Amino acid sequence: MNIITELEKLNVGTIIKNADMKKFTTYKAGGHALCIVSPYNETNLIKLMRFINENSIKYKVIGNCSNLIFSDELYDGILIKLDEFDTLYIKNNIVTVGAGYSLMKLALKVSHMGLSGLEFAAGIPGTIGGSVFMNAGAYNSDMGYIVKKVKVLTPELKIITLYNHDLDFHYRTSFLQKNPAYICLEATLELIPGDEKEIMEIIKDRRERRIKSQPLEYPSAGSVFRNPKDNYAGKLIEEIGYKGKRIGDAAVSEKHANFVINLGNAKGNDIKKLILDIKKKVKEEKGIELKIEQEFVE
């Protein structure tokens, strides 16, 4: 079966064939994918998932790929991008937003409206769906504090609502991460009315701190490792002498050791090798098992 031909017949969304993942990941690295499909709507997503399930086709739902490391080999399946799921409805302090909407864009929009709770997300380049999936967070806050409920597509292709208590939010994880066959379609957030000027001051201050402390001038996917209890991953990596450590054009940032950056032409496999090398070395020298926040996609 020719997957692309069948997808074109299905007509469920826009198709990017032989997608170069360098153009779609924040690492600007990786090989090609057979295709990226952006379904037009929920009905078409269900149709697409039925086709995938009936033909046992490999697939993955992606957002802005701001936490993914693709290998340099072909991803021989379908990547599903929910770009069309970008509706936004705000009533008082309740925000209902599509899974494909930019988290950073939403954070700035609601902050300018004097709604507090998403200040932490103003520098996170993910989508709403991706941020719920991994419980994105920063500055001692995360999505788990503000998500009231999410609309999801179940593995049985039914659309249901999961509430905050169903979503099992913990540090950088959620029910959806442990059950990736559930697809986030939309999230409802509850924010707190606040003072726009104060909210924007917090965002400005944090942005300035990020510029000073993080290698934002290079492609990366943010923090590589979770901070261990009562410790910092960056500090441990610095202590093993790995600041500036390179494999090809993949390097540990001199500015912040918990960032792996692409110096120009890093391979996806080199980024992966470097991350696994750091993990191994910290375990050997410090006796601490670092947990990788980013995901390797083969």
Tens-place pLDDT, residues 65-84? 999 999 999 999 999 999 99
* Percent composition of the chain: helix, strand, coil (DSSP 3-state, to 5): 35, 30, 40
Q: Is the pLDDT of residue 160 over 90?
A: yes
All residues at 6 or more sequence positions from 138 whose CB lies less than 8 Å from its CB, including other chains = 120, 121, 123, 124
Greater model confidence, 172 or 297: 297
Catalytic residue among 66, 116, 131, 223: 223
pLDDT tens-digit profile of 168-216? 999 889 999 999 999 999 999 999 999 999 999 999 999 999 999 999 9
Q: What pLDDT score does 79 carry? A: 98
Query: Tell me, what's the pLDDT at 239?
Result: 97
Tens digits of per-residue pLDDT, 213-250?
999 999 999 999 999 989 999 999 999 999 999 999 99
Predicted confidence (pLDDT) at residue 21 exceeds the cutoff of 90: yes
Provide the residue type at 148 as one letter.
K
Residue type, 168: D
DSSP label at residue 290: P
> What's the pLDDT score for residue 260?
98
The pLDDT-based confidence of 60 (bands split at 50, 70, 90) is: very high
pLDDT(117) > 90: yes
Structural domains in the chain plus CATH codes: 3-81 (3.30.43.10), 88-198 (3.30.465.10), 215-297 (3.90.78.10)
What are the CA-CA distances from residue 162 to residues 68, 80, 142, 167, 255 (Å)? Answer: 25, 21, 18, 7, 40
Spot the catalytic one: 84, 119, 186, 293.
293
Residue in 49, 56, 54, 66 with CA at minimum distance from that of residue 13: 49
Q: Is 174 a catalytic residue?
A: no
Two tokens, residue 62: 């992606």
Instruction: Please identify which of the residues 141, 172, 206, 238 carries the catalytic annotation.
Output: 172
Q: What is the arithmetic mean of pLDDT over 271-283?
A: 98
In this prediction, residue 198 carries a pLDDT of 97
Residue 140 pLDDT level (bands cut at 50, 70, 90): confident
At 1 the pLDDT is 87
Q: Are 100 and 84 in contact (CB under 8 A)?
A: yes
Chain-centre distance of CA 220, in angstroms?
12
> DSSP character for 230?
T
Give the Cα separation of 136 and 226 in Å (integer): 12
- 204-218: b (≥16 Cβ within 10 Å) or e: eebeeeeeeebbbeb
d(CA 295, CA 70): 9
Residue 61: half-sphere exposure toward Cβ, Cα within 13 Å? 27
223 in active site: yes
Which tens digit of pLDDT belongs to each residue from 50-59? 999 999 999 9
pTM over 0.75, yes/no: yes
Q: Which residues contact 34 (CB under 8 A, 6 or more apart)?
A: 3, 4, 17, 18, 19, 74, 75, 76, 77, 78
Mean of pLDDT values over 253-263 = 98
**Amino acid, res. 220:** S
For residue 88, what are the β-bridge partners?
97
